[in-house]
Amino acid sequence: MNNFFALFSKNQSLIYKGFLFVLSTVLVIYLLPKGGQFKYNFQKGKPWQYENLYAPFSFTIKKDEKTLDKEREAIKENATPYFDYNSEIVERSKTNFLQLFQDAFVDSLYTTSKSMAKEEGLTVFNEVYANGVIDEVYPYEQDKLIYLKRGNEVEQLAYSQFHRKENIKNRVAKLVSEKSTEDVKMLLQKLLERAIIPNVTLDSKLTEASVASELNAINPNKGVVEKGGRIIAKGEVVEGDTYQILNSLKAEYQSQVWSKSNHSWLIIGYVIIVSLVFSMLFLFLKKYRFHIYNDNTKVTFIFFNVILMVLLTTIVVKLDAKYVYVVPLCILPLILKAFFDPRLGLFVHTLTLMLLGFVVPNSFEYLFLQLIAGIVTILTVSELYRRANLFISVGQITLVYIIGYFAFFILQEGNVQLIIWENFGYFILCGLATLFAHPLIYLYEKLFGLVSDVSLLELSDTNTKLLKELSNKAPGTFHHSLNVANLAEAAANEIDANAMLVRVGALYHDIGKMKNPTYFTENQVNSVNAHQDLDPKESASIIIDHVIKGIEIARKNNLPDRVIDFIRTHHGTSLVYYFYMNEKKQNEGVNEEDFQYPGPIPFSKETAILMMSDSVEAASKSLKEPTSSKIDAFVEKIIDGQMAQGQFLNANITFKEIQTIKKVLKKKLNNIYHLRVEYPE
């Protein structure tokens, strides 16, 4: 049992990666569509590149979406609306009219008899309500046929047969008999106008149900291809009906061919494919980004983002595939570049696209556009902490989407008349969604404890609490750190390293000297040296301890690990040479380990640059009457000595880059120590 726990403890990082691998594979397979993949790739307007294709089974030809949309629109336009006839309103209106007539008609005022006038009024009333009265204006032509529902009976009428409330006055004038005098006509017009209330309304539910019923009855098929029938010949252009037949075969293949009986084979295929993708990611990290591979948090962060993009795309495709380009997939390489490097960002982006090829329609077009957009993201987004750069890059990414889609449409359709302009709106939405990268980076920093260039910019502010404390307690060290930061930043810019990271690392690399500032020469304000009364070994221990104390202070102040790496490695495993030689004069059997920094040695370009800049800047203070030749020889000696000690073996830095760094340091030091003309007294 003890051996088991010891083995588990020793390999827990590897076990975690295995668990992450299995979990990610299961999640992605769960998200992928459970249907077979059509084994032929084809594009509209392109020649068929395979041998003659014959129908492997009988299947129906599906109508394309445009044809179905036209049929749906025709049904909606020609649909017969239903109107409700309310008889209760008619009865209330009639009662109201009779009451008004009774109150208003005085026999002595009119020559027409009351009974005759009443009969005339009821005749007009019944004629108006024969088909009903409407109040609202509906978007129908006058000769449009409609259904009028009276209780359980339905009759068909023309829309023009309805009376409008505002037309009642004119209608009464036409219908009232010539036998009636003008004053009676006027009276009946007023009374009927007051009494008649609209009693016909559109039955929206019944109308919509009728339309829905007709829409559901649309036949999605337009023919049958019999088994063995030739579908397309080699070299024939894929277009028109042939294109639709191929799409129908593809849909049939994916929906029917993959049944429950071979569902397990489908899962096995997915397991192999997804495992290969994630294996490639692990291999890349292990071979080219070993420091990331060893950090389980960073590995988890990368896998989390891949799965997140697959999840978002799957959800959008299930809701409506036409919105697939709204998913801001370029956030993935953008964020990975912000936290790691461009090469890793592009590699992970490409692997993610391989998985999404199983999810999205028109996978070739999608993969091409997203790959180009990802490359543009990597090439254009620089210095993400500058807000303007992100806006400019988002504009470029959106433009690439639009140009790429436009080119694909021309290739497939041969003209621009049928282009779907709303897709350009989706690309613009995608670009706007990409701007969410900034708050997402901040969120990831808090969740995963990572650091981006935006955070580095904040840390580079010399007014931060820690740097102000350093300038107060160890002003000489603070000034030294500023000089090193300037040298290191200039060198990093020359070899395309992360200049912001190097600058921040340089500003904080000596914060451990705050504990015993007077034991370091740059902070000694007089000729008294605190090391004069100490044994060389004890002095060396104090000097070496500034690295350990610096790490403790950094952790207490929540500095990111990427910055703490500079504190760990800025002396590598070099010797505290001055005290080592003093001890050697007194004791020939001196132990080098007592005078050696604990390391580790630099493991990146940035940490290597800091080691060179720190050593050169610190030692330059000992130069007496510096000249250009002295400075050149001095820089060569220090950096060559570090190379001879093997300090840069783990840093991915080339001899050419080291030579470039030497030139930058020489130039900068020559500028610092340039000779001035002596002014006359």
Per-residue pLDDT at 139 exceeds 60: yes
Q: CA dihedral in degrees (27, 32, 37, 42; nearest 10)?
A: -130
Characterise 86 by phi-psi region: left (phi > 0), alpha (psi -120 to 50), beta (else): beta
Q: What is the mean pLDDT of residues 439-468?
A: 84
CATH of the domain spanning 453-672: 1.10.3210
Q: Looking at the chain, how many residues does it have?
A: 681
Q: What is the mean pLDDT of residues 270-282?
A: 93
**For residues 338 and 165, what is the distance between their CA atoms, to the nearest angstrom?**
69
**Highest averaged pLDDT of the listed ranges 169-173, 218-222, 615-619:** 615-619
**For residues 568 and 271, what is the distance between their CA atoms, to the nearest angstrom?**
42
Amino acid at 631: I
Structure tokens at 27: 């999640």
pLDDT tens column, 626-662: 778 888 888 999 999 989 999 998 888 899 999 999 9
pLDDT tens column, 243-256: 887 887 777 766 65
**For residues 626 and 676, what is the distance between their CA atoms, to the nearest angstrom?**
12
Instruction: List 148's β-bridge partners, or say none.
Output: 83, 155
Under the banding of pLDDT at 50, 70 and 90, the label for residue 141 is confident
The answer to whether 323 and 316 are in contact (CB under 8 A) is yes
- For residue 607, the SS3 value is helix
**For residues 181 and 170, what is the distance between their CA atoms, to the nearest angstrom?**
16
**For residues 575 and 539, what is the distance between their CA atoms, to the nearest angstrom?**
13
**For residues 235 and 15, what is the distance between their CA atoms, to the nearest angstrom?**
52
pLDDT tens column, 97-124: 888 888 888 776 777 777 888 888 888 8
Under the banding of pLDDT at 50, 70 and 90, the label for residue 677 is very low
Per-residue pLDDT at 393 exceeds 70: yes
- What's residue 311's pLDDT? 93
Give the DSSP H/E element, type plus range, for residue 202: strand 200-202
**Alpha helices in 414-511, H assignment, sequence order:** 422-434, 437-448, 453-459, 465-473, 475-494, 499-508
Per-residue pLDDT at 240 exceeds 60: yes
The answer to whether 92 and 197 are in contact (CB under 8 A) is yes
User: Angle CA(167)–CA(132)–CA(170) in degrees, nearest 5?
Assistant: 20
Per-residue pLDDT at 521 exceeds 90: no
- What's residue 280's pLDDT? 95
Contact residues for 547 (Cβ-Cβ < 8 A; gap 6+): 512, 567, 568, 570, 571, 597, 598
Q: What is the mean pLDDT of residues 44-54?
A: 77
**For residues 341 and 421, what is the distance between their CA atoms, to the nearest angstrom?**
36
Domain with CATH 1.10.3210 in the chain: 453-672
- What's residue 486's pLDDT? 92
Structure tokens at 519: 């034991």
Least Cα distance to 521 among 475, 566, 561 occurs for 475
The reported pTM is 0.60
Least Cα distance to 231 among 252, 206, 259 occurs for 252
- What's residue 678's pLDDT? 46
Among 11-15, 48-52, 475-479, where is mean pLDDT lowest?
48-52
**For residues 484 and 479, what is the distance between their CA atoms, to the nearest angstrom?**
9
